[in-house]
Every structure is written in structure tokens, then in C-alpha cells.
């Protein structure tokens, strides 16, 4: 936990916030007394992907979707 004066916080708040790591906090003081706390929030946990969420989103499949393009025959087993 670091401490900064109100004047320093007013002058450099964006830089101070950028330097905070999740869970870390800064105490802002006026006349050597704490008046506020700035705390970096924890990033929201990423939700695990769910199967089937894209069901029904493919509206059209070209008739030659699985056809081998001309000139690629040499690359097949």
C-alpha cells in the first residue's frame, strides 16, 4: 500500500492508476491524514466457453464446400 498526497494524486492520477496491480491500493492524504483510497479491481474471471452457443448461426454452406481446389491434387495422399 502506497501513500501519496492529494496534490500529487491530482497531478499524476492517470499514471498512478496505470501502475496499480490488481488488488493493490493507494492512500491519498491531505495534511498527513488519509482522506481516500484508490484500489485496482480484480479482473473478472473469464467464463468458460459453452458448447452449442453457435448452433443455428450457419445459414448457408456452399455445395462445393468439401471439394478439392484445382491444383491441390498433388498434396493429397
Domain limits for position 22 = 1-42
The grid coordinates listed for 32 are: 498527513
Where the chain has pLDDT below 50, the residues are none
The grid coordinates listed for 38 are: 484508490
CATH number at residue 19: 3.40.1620.10
The predicted pLDDT at position 35 comes to 96
Does 10 fall in a domain?
Answer: yes
The predicted pLDDT at position 14 comes to 94
**Domain count along the chain:** 1
Give bridge partners of residue 29 from the DSSP assignment: 5, 34
Amino acid at each position: 500500500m502506497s501513500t501519496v498526497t492529494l496534490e500529487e494524486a491530482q497531478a499524476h492520477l492517470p499514471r498512478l492508476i496505470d501502475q496499480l496491480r490488481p488488488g493493490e491500493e493507494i492512500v491519498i492524504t491531505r495534511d498527513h491524514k488519509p482522506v481516500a483510497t484508490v484500489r485496482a479491481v480484480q479482473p473478472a474471471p473469464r467464463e468458460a466457453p459453452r458448447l452449442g452457443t453457435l448452433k443455428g448461426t450457419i445459414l448457408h454452406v456452399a455445395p462445393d464446400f468439401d471439394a478439392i481446389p484445382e491444383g491441390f491434387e498433388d498434396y493429397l495422399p
